[in-house]
Amino acid sequence: MKERREQIVADLKSLPKIDLHRHLEGSLRLETLLEIARKYRLNVPTKDLEALRPFVQVTNDPPTHEAFLGKFEVLRHFYRSPEMIDRLVYEAVADAAADHVKYLELRFSPQALSRVRGFSMADAADWVIASVSRAEADFDIQVGLIVTLVRHDPLPQAQQVAEIAFARFGKGIVGLDLAGDEVKFPSRPFTPLFKEAREVGLGITVHAGEWASAFGVREAILDLFANRVGHGVRTLENSEILQLVRERQTAFEVCLTSNLQTGVVHEMDHHPLVDMLDVGLLATINTDDPSISNCTLSDEYEIALEQLKIGYPALRQTIMNAASSAFLPPAKRQDLIERFDGLLPTALSLDGRSPASLSQV
């Protein structure tokens, strides 16, 4: 049993992967955070890693989005210098590559990186771009950056951040995102910014249909021109919106572990991913915040196979869905599709067993 389990884990880790929904600020090595906390005497426990962990990672927290978002409030105090930001970004990409992620879209908030120390947001964005470029050269990974606007930030600041993204489109930046508390803060005030993003040519993704209703998904598509929806698991609650996303071929960035930790789902066995795939939605599997959630993309694949029992053919399809939804120019996106179609095995095997039987081990 143990050997078989280890083989499953090894097989899944070796799969080439695509992660379209990963936040930089939720992808930081805890060991590095502890080092920063000690060096700069931050107001968090620094005795050892386990003392720090509950402040920056979900442990015994209640399954609410408030508790989850609270980790980011702590993490923004760790961006103490350009050199530290460079290191954190580089390590985040390195960790993705170590999990055999071959194509990564990493989203980040220049305002979060700059707020505590008063850095220029434009400078912070350039530090991230430079660090990612260096990591791409050192590891076998392709990375596109998505700039994230936050619903509860002031609109003038969001305008500044969006302009930073517009100016750097094609220079490391591939998309614009809207995140934050969708329950308390509507998306419509951001419509002009996303209209301009569409005109510039940026890919657009919006967090919606996660903590609030399916109507947020409709707003994301019709008001913010979203090509993709972050999470979107509540889309299934409304048949008209379900029809809309199928007509528009909207892709969904599903994040299993974080959905459980934020209370979007109460039991993993009942996660909507299964139904999303059954009705033909372009669902993809992603990590969201691997260090906050203490997960890897391989872990998320294992959950999909073993707990949701979707089978390897469906898992493979989610990866191909991700390739077809990447924020790349059409020719490069087609190259990515063909590359992954060639890289991904048509079946996984374990002692001659079929992929569907992996969940029974």
Confidence check: pLDDT of 69 > 50:
yes
Residues 308-315, mean pLDDT to the nearest whole number: 96
pTM assigned to the model: 0.94
Residue 62 counted as domain residue: yes
What is the chain's Cα-based Rg? Answer: 19
Q: How far apart are CA 87 and CA 273, in angstroms?
A: 34
Q: What integer pLDDT is reported at residue 361 of this predicted model? A: 36
**Dihedral pair phi/psi, residue 67, rounded to 5°:** -65, -40
Residue 153 counted as domain residue: yes
Burial class (CB in 10 A: 0-12, 13-18, 19+), 41: exposed
- The share of the chain scoring above pLDDT 70, in percent, equals 96
The answer for 255, left when phi > 0, alpha when psi is -120 to 50, beta otherwise, is beta
Residue 309 counted as domain residue: yes
Confidence check: pLDDT of 96 > 90:
yes
Return all residues near 174 (Cβ < 8 A) that are at least 6 apart.
105, 144, 145, 146, 202, 203, 327, 328
Residue 49 counted as domain residue: yes
Mean of pLDDT over the chain: 93
Q: What integer pLDDT is reported at residue 1 of this predicted model? A: 62
Residues 37-51, mean pLDDT to the nearest whole number: 96
What residues make up the domain containing 171? 2-343
For residue range 225-281, what is the model confidence (pLDDT) as tens digits?
Answer: 999 999 999 999 999 999 999 999 999 999 999 999 999 999 999 999 999 999 999
Residues 46-66, mean pLDDT to the nearest whole number: 95
- Number of separate domains in the chain: 1
For residue range 170-219, what is the model confidence (pLDDT) as tens digits?
Answer: 999 999 999 988 878 888 999 999 999 999 999 999 999 887 788 999 99
User: What residues act catalytically?
Assistant: 210
For residue range 122-164, what is the model confidence (pLDDT) as tens digits?
Answer: 999 999 999 999 999 999 999 999 999 999 889 999 999 999 9
Residue 261: which CATH number? 3.20.20.140
Residue 353 counted as domain residue: no
